[in-house]
Amino acid sequence: MNPSPLPFEPDHNHDRCISEALEQARHLCRERRQRLTPIRELVLRLIWQSHQPLGAYELLPALAEAGFNSAPPTVYRALEFLQSQGLVHRIASLNAFIGCPHPEQSHQGCFLICRSCKSTLELESQPIQQAIRSSAGSLGFTIEQETVEIVGLCPNCQTRPQRDPQ
Amino acid sequence: MNPSPLPFEPDHNHDRCISEALEQARHLCRERRQRLTPIRELVLRLIWQSHQPLGAYELLPALAEAGFNSAPPTVYRALEFLQSQGLVHRIASLNAFIGCPHPEQSHQGCFLICRSCKSTLELESQPIQQAIRSSAGSLGFTIEQETVEIVGLCPNCQTRPQRDPQ
DNA sequence: AATATTTTGTTATAGTGTAACGCAATCTTT
DNA sequence: AAAGATTGCGTTACACTATAACAAAATATT
Ligand SMILES: [Zn+2]
Ligand SMILES: [Zn+2]
Ligand SMILES: [Zn+2]
Ligand SMILES: [Zn+2]
């Protein structure tokens, strides 16, 4: 067990990922006077079940099991709220959602997505950010939102292609 | 009229963009022994009507007008072919498609998308590519496909926000 | 407690994309 | 040129993703 979740390590302490993410979500929402309702918290917990982006419709059965209404608007509303608080990011190229490991300040994610095991890692890459800002700036373009999603093979899947880390 | 299409210039010679794109498409397909059928060429021409990404369903009426079948599979097949030949890129964050200005060799596009006028510019930014490769490489991640889509305001729309270049 | 605001339930529908199958057109081989 | 193989297209149906609109319930505010 690693003390902190390492990128693409299938045997990291993921229970800790979950509990930390939930704890931080509760803390941030309290601080911001936003309501982390049972549905919202459940959706966040479900998304954090793995490091693989989850589609909105994959959440519905679990919501139903938990006794909630399970129509699309329910889950999309929860996802919208979580996104607005920076707790969740949407992966445009997958139509899916993933928990943000550092939601304390709003930011643009940069994602490495493994084609094989689907594990997805959010980067904070200064060089990438800088290069984008520089390219856009030199053309007089003002950046408002960035989508950077890199698909490929994670280290595990290059050697053990069939492995499926959470 | 500019001799070559400048980024975010609404009054560039766009007829030339179109004719060059079509000419190059014909040339590349001939060279690769791929069939640029009437439907495929029409879809490419429609996409090149502007520098604004076009949704698949926006193409259907024009296909119908031209006397072709206008069911979704028709246009999606054409788009799939054009993408396979690098003649068109898909913008994941918009669910839309745009013509590629330099399809002669396969590449990963990086797109600047104006939120106001929707004009979209494809960049070939070595620094961005390099930064992405470096970040991924240091984590042992092998890149297969990149999605880099930057939304913001182009120079025109920062000063004349309501303008709508082609 | 009364009122306003926010959240959720519910139904319906819009928007995006694909499966599957048969026919037609084109290419390849004889 | 004829026969067979391959590719592209027409057609229908459907899957997946997301939102509009309005009523009911829960919560916050006065
Ligand atoms: Zn984890
Ligand atoms: Zn994040
Ligand atoms: Zn042009
Ligand atoms: Zn391109």
* Percent of chain B clearing pLDDT 70 (strictly above): 91
Distance of CA A48 to the CA centre of its chain: 8
Q: What is the tens place of the pLDDT at every residue in B33-67?
A: 999 999 999 999 999 999 999 999 999 999 999 99
Distance of CA A24 to the CA centre of its chain: 14
Out of B135, B147, B155, name the one closest to residue A127 (CB): B135
Instruction: State how far the Cα of B45 lies from the Cα of B66, in Å rounded to an integer.
Output: 12
pLDDT of residue B6: 60
Q: What is the tens place of the pLDDT at every residue in A50-108?
A: 999 999 999 999 999 999 988 999 999 999 999 999 999 999 999 999 999 999 998 88
Burial of B41 (0-12, 13-18, 19+ CB in 10 A): middle
Question: How far is the centre of ligand 1, averaged over its atoms, from the C-alpha of A17 (Å)?
Answer: 5
Instruction: State how far the Cα of A79 lies from the Cα of A63, in Å rounded to an integer.
Output: 13
The average pLDDT across B150-156 equals 95
Q: How many CA atoms lie within 13 A of B36 on its CB side?
A: 22
Whether A93 CB is under 7 Å from strand D: no
CA geometry: angle at A116 spanning A97 and A122, to 5°? 40
Mean pLDDT of chain A: 91
Task: Report the distance from CA of residue B7 to the C1' of nucleotide D26 in Å, as an integer.
Answer: 52
B-contacting residues of A 50-109, CB under 8 Å?
A: 92-93
